Amino acid sequence: MGEPIKIMDLARDLIELSGYQVGRDIDITITGLRPGEKLPSRCCAREELFSEDEALAPTEHEKILVVSNGAEPSLGQWKDEVEGLLSLARAGETEKARERLQAIVCPLKIENRELRIEN
């Protein structure tokens, strides 16, 4: 990411580059923060990209990190769930298999083609 840009400077530049004058042709109105917006702290110019409950792991590329959420099941947990489901299905325990499948699938939500796991 690049250097932070002051929104007032950006607004002035856009107005002037469009052939107008600030204050004469177009006024700039400061409306305040919208819900969810926050001002960067003066001591830390870096934007908070991750929450405290997310774990960061390095990749082969030094500038790319993998973020994982604590609620995300591990591969071993998925394997155990699928094996349990297969055992029930092979034993003919249809209702129990259906309940197990529902317990596995229901916490999952797919949003914008990304898998989200809810607690």
For every residue of the chain, DSSP letters joined together read ------HHHHHHHHHHHTT--BTTTB------PPTT--PPPSS--S---S-TTEEEEE-SSTT-EEEEETTSPPHHHHHHHHHHHHHHHHTT-HHHHHHHHHHHHTTEEEETTEEEE--
Average pLDDT over residues 47-59: 72
Only one residue has tokens 């400061």, namely 30
pLDDT in tens, 55-91: 778 889 888 888 776 566 677 888 898 899 899 989 9
The verdict on pTM exceeding 0.75 is: no
